[in-house]
Structure 1
Amino acid sequence: MPHNSANSQGATRRGILFGGAAVSATALLTACTSNEPSGKEAPATNNQPVADDKPGKKVTIGFAGPQADHGWLNAINENARERAKKYPDVTLDITEGSNDTAAQIGQIQTLINKKVDVLVILPTDGKALTQVGLAAMKAGIPVVNLDRVFASPQAFRCWIGGDNYGMGLNAGRYIGEKLKDKPNAKVIELAGLDSLELTKLRTQGFDDALKNYPNIKKVARQAADFTVESGQAKMAQLLQAQPQFDALWNHDDDQGVGALRAIAQAGRKDFLMVGGAGAKSAMDAIKADNGVLKATVLYPPTMSASAIDLARALGQGKGIGGMSELEIPASVTLYSAVVTKENVDDYLPQSFT
């Protein structure tokens, strides 16, 4: 639906844990700023080249992602397309996308055979596609591994993705602060697929945050599978089993559409809800502030736009504005911001449908 230290690296939306250096995408992907008068460009640190908006060497970027059968995945593709259009020196060769591992490997192999300059790959299964990542790197095509991480760091030049542990941590902190003065507060959790490492990390982060609030107890947890239908069915079960609780954390805004339907059908308004990922429907509800949904924790699909920035910098042999190094970093971990009615207008432009 968005972390690379040992305690906070989120296994990606459908992926696995990867350890590496975590850095702020905001710091990395914004242009250098200075107090120079307008119109005078500030030099890069140590006179090293940095990626910027000025046209440079022409770069063909091959983009391969899974089938866009989920709002977040569709937003991944759209963000990549829109970012590439921003650069007159970038040609984007985007595949149709597939949830079949063999089909996606074939699509990536076609891009390798075309000799694109850089590859951006969001693998259907990071482990299963590791070999094709290795093949691209061996062919001299640098790979930006997006979100679901390959099993070997040799299969990519740079990884960029979200923070699943951080999602849970920040959801727990938000709920904790809202309920810190309420004796014997109860919370419930509507998780994603328990077969995925990312779901376990989101739960772990949530549980770790709640340890700081001894007055709060998690009394129920139900796993869904990131669909509207599953969200509605599993939420209905939770509501029936829990006649009273104070807060709900739902891992995914798409399944949250179904959860909110179940909540409305049950006529329940006696708790607050926190969502996950950053869908427009969730942000609209937060802004309206006339229901239980009060916040959502981001897993930004804008990571694909940032991946295009990184791929362009790789293709042009540049570093990143705002950093001193000649090369782009080995990994970029996005922050899981909490969107509330106070800041929702800032994040609405980055939401997805």
Structure 2
Amino acid sequence: MSRTPRRYLSAAALISATLLVSGCLSNDPEAVETEDDAAAAAAEPAGDNAEPGDDVVIGFSGPAAGHGWIGAITEGAQNQGDEFDDVELRVSEGTDDVNQQISQIEQFINDDVDAIVVLPFDGAALTEVAIEAMNAGIPVVNVDREFSSPFAARTTILGDNYGMGVSAGTYICEQLGDQDDAVVAEIAGIDSLPLTQDRSQGFEDALSDCGMEVENRVAADFTVAGGESATANLLQAAPEIDAIWNHDDEQGVGVLAAIENAGRDEFFMIGGAGSANMMREIESGDSVVEATVVYPASQAADGVRLARLLAQERAMSDLVESDVPREIQLYAPVVMG
């Protein structure tokens, strides 16, 4: 097979790890964390970037924190803002209402903040108001869910969604690669989001590389209830399964509930996001969950760091290419017991 080798980490090592952000941010594959650790993982500023600069006001807007990963994202942003004496971070109330989030960005524009960090509930829907902010001379840092125009953000920080799918597919190939008739199932997140589409494409491509394909696929909505409902439908439709990839560990709680209710255990499952719950499932040794693909919850904290530099018209002095880059993509390794 021609797949690029992926690095695997133990669950125990993952739980004890923290992401050390050096200078501005780090993408060291060895320094990974669970979503539950991320909110507390804001590192002490280092290097020239830690030196106080002009006082700046940064606005932050994100979805409602009904999901553990979103909660960690928001808390991480708040903690990071607290690290800097020269930053006033204004955090809008989390919302899954697109119109309300648009109003939050408009308020930041009216307040003439110095920079905006936004994790949009729907990137396409918030693109126009983000362009409005950029046209007003306010740099926008786009986190996780990408806008539909390159003019909507000065910098975009993304998890490696395609890489998540590749990592999950590669793991399954390595476990089942000699079984030509293996049945692989997929429990996706919200199908309308580009990040879900990227995860599914990466998964499909990795499986194709070892002669497999997804036999059964359902989409949930990144919630516990959605995961349970979608999985119940999947298990009814597929009487025999060898492996399942579930895109999101939060909805994975519902996925596991449906699996238990159905009395099924003939397959193994790989999760997505690296939540503490899934780490415990992996470590237990008696769960269908064998592994999960990490999806960093440090993105908003990194966004606040970058927004500060942009607002102060400073650069990333600890890099050879010192200007703040247009796009940053974080690493998504597999962890297993």
**Alpha-carbon displacement from aligned partner over 1:271-317 (angstroms, at most 9, x marks no partner):** 21011122221122122232111111122221111111111221232
Q: Supply the AA of the counterpart residue of 2:292.
A: T
* Matches for 1:109-188 after TM superposition, within 5 Å: 109-188=106-185
Following TM superposition, the consecutive aligned residue runs of length 4 or more in structure 1 with deviations greater than 3 angstroms are: 25-28
Alpha-carbon distance change, 238 to 322 in structure 1, aligned in 2, over 3 angstroms? same
Q: Residue in 2 aligned with 1:232?
A: 228
Tell me by how many angstroms 1:217 deviates. Answer: 4.5
Tell me by how many angstroms 1:120 deviates. Answer: 0.7
* Matches for 1:1-353 after TM superposition, within 5 Å: 29-30=25-26, 52-214=49-211, 216-320=212-316, 322-341=318-337
Identify unmatched segments of 5+ residues in structure 2: 1-20, 28-45
Q: Supply the AA of the counterpart residue of 1:102.
A: N
Identity %: 49
C-alpha contact 1:30 1:322 (8 A) present in aligned 2: no
Alpha-carbon distance change, 247 to 226 in structure 1, aligned in 2, over 3 angstroms? same
The range that moved more, 49-58 or 155-164, is 49-58
Q: State the distance in 2 between where 1:56 and 1:287 align.
A: 45
Q: CA RMSD in A?
A: 2.4
**Alpha-carbon displacement from aligned partner over 1:128-168 (angstroms, at most 9, x marks no partner):** 22232222222221111112222322221111122221111
Task: Give me the TM-score of the superposition, normalised by structure 2.
Answer: 0.81
Matched residue of 1:245: which SS? coil
Alpha-carbon distance change, 27 to 180 in structure 1, aligned in 2, over 3 angstroms? farther
Q: State the distance in 2 between where 1:102 and 1:264 align.
A: 39
Tell me by how many angstroms 1:27 deviates. Answer: 9.8
Q: State the distance in 2 between where 1:106 and 1:326 align.
A: 34
Q: State the distance in 2 between where 1:63 and 1:217 align.
A: 40
Matched residue of 1:320: which SS? coil
C-alpha contact 2:220 2:226 (8 A) present in aligned 1: yes
C-alpha contact 2:122 2:193 (8 A) present in aligned 1: no
Q: State the distance in 2 between where 1:150 and 1:182 align.
A: 40
Q: State the distance in 2 between where 1:191 and 1:114 align.
A: 39
Q: State the distance in 1 between where 2:241 and 2:78 align.
A: 43
**Alpha-carbon displacement from aligned partner over 1:91-133 (angstroms, at most 9, x marks no partner):** 1111113222222222222222222211111223222222322
Task: Give me the TM-score of the superposition, normalised by structure 1.
Answer: 0.78
Matched residue of 2:209: which SS? coil
Tell me by how many angstroms 1:269 deviates. Answer: 2.5
C-alpha contact 1:30 1:321 (8 A) present in aligned 2: no
